Amino acid sequence: MAQDSDVPAIVAQLTNGSGVDLVCDTTPYVFEPILDAIKAVRSNGRIVLSGLKDSRLMDGFPIDVLMMKQITMVGVLASAHWATQQAIRVIESGRLPLGLMHTHSLPIDQVEHAIKALAGEIPGERALHVSILGQG
């Protein structure tokens, strides 16, 4: 699991020390993934924050590292509470065969393939919903 791993070290190893272009943090309530993102993203990279933190303040935010690496950090909100409630109602109703939307289940070592499939970059392969499975 990610919390048991040194994510920035793994990213550095996989990218030969250059870091990644983009990190998306979707984890709610915790700040460690943000610190990992700042370490793992390359200079001039981007971090997208979409995991709400319950209005808590983050102690020890490394603003100097953010500025020195010239990282762009942006917060996004995927949907309003009303929209989420409506989606839950549709799912719970069972009226729609939503399982048909799931097209791929791939192991974590094929995450690049998953991203390319979702982006339409793999000829003959159409992906709509992809699940990334942990290592066995």
pLDDT tens digits, one per residue of 76-97: 886 778 888 888 898 899 998 8
Q: Are residues 114 and 132 in the same domain?
A: yes
**Which residue segment(s) compose the domain that 105 sits in?**
80-136
Q: Are residues 39 and 16 in the same domain?
A: yes
Q: Report d(CA 51, CA 76) in Å as an integer.
A: 9
Q: Are residues 95 and 125 in the same domain?
A: yes
Q: Are residues 57 and 74 in the same domain?
A: yes
pTM of the model: 0.59
DSSP secondary structure letters along 1-39: -GGGS-HHHHHHHHTTTS-EEEEEE--SS-SHHHHHHHH
When pLDDT is averaged across residues 41-53 and rounded to a whole number, the result is 93
The whole-number pLDDT of residue 23 equals 94
Say which CATH number the domain at 4 has. Answer: 3.40.50.720
> Which of 51, 32, 29, 52 is CA-nearest to residue 40?
32
Number of C-beta neighbours around residue 134 at 10 A: 8
Q: Which residue has the tokens 């943090």?
A: 25
Domain boundary pick from 56, 78, 100:
78
Q: Are residues 12 and 52 in the same domain?
A: yes
